[in-house]
Structures are given as C-alpha cells and as structure tokens.
Amino acid sequence: MDSAIGTYICQTIDCSKPATLQCPTCIKMALAPAFFCDQECFKRYWPIHKTYHKKQEEQDDQKNKFKFTGPLRPGKISARLFVPDHIKKPEWYLSGQPTEEMKSKLQQVVDCKTPEDIQKMRECAAIGRGALDAGHAAVKAGVTTDEIDKIVHKYIIDHDAYPSPLNYNGFKKSLCTSVNEVICHGIPDDRPLENGDIVNLDVSVYFKGFHIDLNETYFVGEVSESSKFLVEKAYTCLQKAIEMCKPGTMYRDVGNIIEKYITENGLAVNRTYCGHGVGQLFHCAPTIPHYGKNKAPGFMKPGHTFTIEPMINQGTHQDILWTFDNWTAVTADGQRSAQFEHSILITEGGCEVLTARLPTSPPLDFKI
C-alpha cells in the first residue's frame, strides 16, 4: 500500500503492528487482501485465518442468493488500516467490542459537559470537519469509496486522532460510505462511483478522550432532479431541527418538526436509526428519533451534546439489512436515501453546531 496513504494493520487479533505481507491463499482465491506483519504472526494466526477463506466463500454464496432491493451491488472490501501506536485508541481497537460503552451509566443519563470537555470536543470536531471536507474533495466518478476511506483515515491519523468506526463491533473501515439506496453504515469497497450516484460520507473521530460525529451527502457528476430534490430536503430538515435546539426543548419534538417537513414534501423519514448522545462515548443517551409522535424522554440542557442525523427516503421509510455483511442498511423498495448530520452542543442561549461547515469547506451541490 502507498506509504502516502498509510499502512495496513496485521490481521492477527492481538497484534497491532503495520503489515505488508499478504496471505497467498487470499490472493489465489481473489479474496479481499489479508495482511500480516511477518511470517511468525502469519503462522501463529493461520489456524484462525484459514477459516476466513471458507467464510468468504459462504459470504459470496449469500450475496449471489440475496434479493437486492435496488441496483447497487457490493464490491471487495480491503484490509483494515493501521493506526500509529502514539494515537489514543478506544476500547474496541483490538477487541472489536465497545463493552465499557454499553455498560456505562451514560446510556441512561445525559451528562452536562464541563468547559474543559467542550473545548476538547471542539478540537475533535475541527478534525472531523477537516476529514469530511478532505473526503468530499475526492468525490467524483471513477473514484472508489475505498480510496475515499484511505484519504479520510490518513487525515485523521495525521492529526493524532482515531477514526471511531474502525473495528467498532468489527466494522472494518474508518468511514461509512452510503451510496444511492443505502440508508447508512455502507462499507467502503472497490466499486467506483458512477456519474449520477449520490454518496453519503459519515465521519466519526476520537480525540483527547471524546468522540464527534458528522456526515453529508454529495452528488457524483450530474444527478437526476429527483435525487437533487431528495438531498436538498434532507439538508433542510436538519437545519429546521437545529433551529429548535435550545434549553427546554423536548427531545421528542425534534422528530415532529423533521417528519412534518419531510412528509409535506412527499418523502419519508427512516424510523430505525436515530440521533444519539456523543462525547466520552461514541453512542449514548439521549436517543433522538427523527419521526413524529415518538416517546423519547428528556429535554435539552446547557452542556448536552448529541447528534441529529435524519435519514430521508424517496419511497418507503422501511429498511432492510444486507445480511451477508450485517452492516449495510438499504431502503426496502430500492429507492434512494440521503442524510446530513451534525454534532450539537446546547448552550445557555441556544445551541452551537460543533461540526459546522467552514468557509474553506468544498461547496455543496445546491444553494444553502
């Protein structure tokens, strides 16, 4: 792999060294590449790794039998990227399990960030914004989402931060890339973007003990008028939700304003995936549904930090999961979906959009 982008991490579970040695069986079988730091690690991990070959064959068989709802098909997924030793890492870096996160009291209690916490989150947000802008600048026909993942990964580690999705519950990439009918959690792969696609880049960063989360949807070349309409409305509904964020606002009311605007425009709000608290934990309380008449508890207070990230569909609000990767959520009818996300801080006088666009951010493809 090009050293300008970074290096892969050794596949051996308890090893975190950079790796360049490839498994010859993976090459022979034309599987996604697997890398090891040296022959010793390769031999030690072989009894486990060889089961990967069988799993990949089974997964390919599942793909062939899977009833896709739209025209998009997955490509090959490359190996996990290396993160330098000096960078502070979350608990799931090697284990893949956010065990402490799930046991935390912050899953039930919304904490109020201190001024010191807020400053760290602003620094984290600046890295997240820069990484998303770097990814955005690379979006064009012919570029793969795997290439964009590498660009975002390099930006984050160059700023001494960690890409939060990497190995979170086993997610293999540093970025989520959701193309066309993918609602969320698309895995970067070797499929080149095509003229007329829309693609969402979802960036999350861990820095100085805090996480931040943001995403945007972009046009690839010339897109249809219906796709333009969808993306513009997805952007606008997030802005309308942010306008109501201030002390005393009920969290359940966020969904009311989003769904009212979206249904008036003949679109649908996905009901499966929600906004969430963010800070010391990647995902925590509060839970913020984006649909109306929900029963989310609590109200906003100064110091609360959370995401709002409505996923807007052209057709049905319903989704299905690509069961062969257990990550990619797509629209049940195969029509397109778009999303924008910000991390929000509630202040005494209203709110601060921690992940706001900058004057230097590449412009969006529509007027804002």
Which residues are paired to 22 by β-bridges? 35
Cα–Cα dist 268/265, whole Å? 9
Residue 304 among known ligand-binding residues: no
pLDDT tens figures, 221-274: 999 999 999 999 999 999 999 999 999 999 999 999 999 999 999 999 999 999
| Cis preceding-peptide flag for 163 (omega within 30 of 0) | no
Is the pLDDT score of 116 beyond 60?
Answer: yes
- Average pLDDT (338-356) is 99
**CA–CA distances in Å: residue 100 to residues 104, 107, 111, 155, 284:** 6, 11, 16, 27, 12
Tokens of 15: 């090893």
User: Is 309 labelled as part of a ligand binding site?
Assistant: yes
Average pLDDT score over the chain: 95
- What is the per-residue pLDDT across 3-57, written as a single tens digit (0 to 9) for each? 334 578 898 877 878 999 999 998 888 787 889 999 999 998 898 888 878 777 7
Cis amide bond preceding 297, omega within 30 = no
pLDDT, one tens digit per residue, over 191-213 is 999 999 999 999 999 999 999 99
Is 283 flagged in the annotation as binding? yes
Of 55-59, 75-79, 111-115, which gets the smallest average pLDDT? 55-59
Tell me the percentage of the chain whose pLDDT exceeds 90: 86
Residue 53 has a pLDDT of 83
What are the pLDDT digits (tens) for 305-334?
999 999 999 999 999 999 999 999 999 999
Which amino acid appears at position 6 of this protein? G
Residue 359 binned pLDDT confidence (cut-offs 50, 70, 90): very high
Residue 56 and residue 34 in contact, taking contact as beta carbons nearer than 8 Å: no
Structure tokens at 83: 């993160």
**Binding site annotation covers 276?**
yes
DSSP state of 110: P
What per-residue confidence (pLDDT) applies to 117?
98
pLDDT score for 5? 45
The confidence score (pLDDT) of residue 349 equals 97
Distances (CA, A) of 207 to 23, 159, 258, 280: 33, 9, 31, 10
Write down the pLDDT at residue 1: 36
185 is in an annotated binding site: yes
- ∠275-232-334 over CA atoms, to 5°? 75
| Residues whose CB is less than 8 angstroms from the CB of residue 324 and which lie 6 or more positions away in sequence, other chains included | 59, 62, 63, 66, 74
